[in-house]
Each structure stands twice: as C-alpha cells, then as structure tokens.
Copies of this chain bind each other. A is one copy, B any other.
C-alpha cells in the first residue's frame, strides 16, 4: 500500500500519525494534529470512564479523523509477595522521604482494553483504533471492527508483525527501539530481540502485505523521507510533539527535553513494570534501568508514583519518568499544527 492509499484510508491529508502519549496529551493535541492534516490520537490507558466519554464526545463532534489508542495487556493477578519485594527494593527511598511503604495507595496505573471500553467506543465509532501490546481478544476485536474501524497495532519484531497481520491488524506500526514510552512487544520478553528502526522497518515491510507505519526516531521531515525510503507507507511521531503548546508535558519535562539529559535515554521497567524508554533518573541509575524487582505491569506503578509525588513536592525529580525517544531534537515549543506541517514536508 502506498502512503497515498493509507492516507485515503485514514481520511487524512498525510499518512502522519501522532503517537498516543498517555499522561502527556489529550484530545486537544489530537484535534490540533488532525486539523492540520495528520492523524491525532487519544491515549486511553489512563482515562477514567467519564473522562473517556467526554474526550470521545469532543473528538467525534469535531468531524475530524482521529485514532483512539488502548493498551491490551492481560491484567495481572495481584501478587502480595512480589509487591512486598518491590516495596522492599524501594525501601531506602521510602525511608529517605520519610514515607510509609504500607501507605501506598492501590490503583490501576494503566487500564487494559475491555468490553466496557468497546461498548463506550461503539457509541462514537472512532474511525481508527490502535492497540499496544498485541491485540484484544477476538470477540472484542470483532466488536471494534463492527463499526468499520481501521485497526493498528505495534510490532517490534518481524514475528510480531506477522502475528498482527494474521490476527486482524489492518496496518502495522513498526516500532524501532529508538521510540519513547512503552515498548509494544508482546510475543517475547527478551529485550535483545528489539530492533532499531533502520533494520526493523524494511524487514517488516518485506514480510507483510498490510501497510507499515514507521515509528521510533522520526523527528523531522528528513526522518519522514528516510522512513519512506525504507518502505514505510506512513510514520508515527511522538517525542517531537512533547513540547507542543497542546501537550500536557510539565515544565520540568520540557526543560529536560531541551537539555543534554535528553541525549541519554534508557529502556526501563521501573516506572510501570513494563519496559519503556525515557530519560535516565536517579532510581534508574541506582537500581539499573531493567530490574527483576518491579511488580508486574501495571502494578509496579503505584509504589513508584507514590515516591514520585512525594519527591516532586520537594522539587526533586529523582523518581520522575520523563518519557522520550532517542531523538529529542525535533521538540519545539510550537502549536502541534505547525509541528505536523513541518514533518509533513517529508511527504512532498
């Protein structure tokens, strides 16, 4: 499929997708991108049902195309022993901050796609739905497709791309390991299988029939051109939108993205229990970015979020995750529409 065909299927001017970034953006970003000719996204993993309904109403009312994004991990069973081990690993930090590990509030962290979510979406019939960590169960996927949604999911290996194609993805996002935020892998936990965009993309393109959208490291029109040269029908860009006017990115995160610190990102499982790329912070440095200690995704989130909130009250970012891909050079304080149009010059 050519980029033009993909655009026409997405009902956008360009096959340029704004990467859903839970916690960093909402429908305001999505509308700005879609209004400029790209495809904006609404990340739903951290939205409560009432907020989700409001956001979907806003998007549907716009008349613009949009993508609704879900995590579709199997929810883990609570595991008291493992959670105790996780809090024990963090105990020195609780002590340092004068916090009681027993006081960590429970909380979902990230919600997986569900039947309730599918039914809520069905009211609005979003034209594009994307998933991370594979695809939902067949009956849920069938429900999503029942209103004609174009379904995307991320592959981090050729094997995952073939699996997604076989299980009903209409297009595949080839997520190179340069990408910020959560890795989308779902068939293997072996991080050594993760590939750079430069190698993953052409091999996925060669392996599948569906269109392939490149993600990971694309931060400029030149990156868009390079991805197309490697066979991408479209691109998905996240980090370059983190400093957009519409982003919810904090001032400290924005400053970090424009600093030397952005040169060193790591894939870490300390924030949520699942590997994700962000800038190095103190706890990643001290425990190592990948550790056996965290509770299963997303349960690890609660303890780390509690530490983070307490430290941030003291003006410290030792426990703050600042997601970023390996190329923050595209971050600009500008309207998301401007960022979209600048990236889209790569399609000219």
A40 within 8 A of B: no
Interface window among A24-32, A72-80, A116-124, A220-228? A220-228
Interface string of A92-116 (1 = CB under 8 A from B): 0000000000000000000000000
Q: How far is it, in angstroms, between the C-alpha of A197 and the C-alpha of B223 when the chains are bound?
A: 11
Residue of B nearest to A188 (CB): B264
Contact B222 A263 (CB under 8 A): no
Contact B178 A198 (CB under 8 A): yes
Q: How far is it, in angstroms, between the C-alpha of A202 and the C-alpha of B218 when the chains are bound?
A: 10
Interface residues on A, range: 35 or more
Contact B203 A264 (CB under 8 A): no
- Which residues on the B side are within 8 Å of A197 (C-beta)? 196-199
Residue of B nearest to A232 (CB): B226
A159 within 8 A of B: yes
From B158, B227, B326, give the contact of A196 (CB < 8 A). Answer: B326
In angstroms, how far is the closest chain B Cβ from the Cβ of A88? 24
A4 within 8 A of B: no
A320 within 8 A of B: no
**Residue in A229, A231, A329 whose Cβ sees the most chain B Cβ within 10 Å:** A229
- Which residues on the B side are within 8 Å of A222 (C-beta)? 202, 229-231
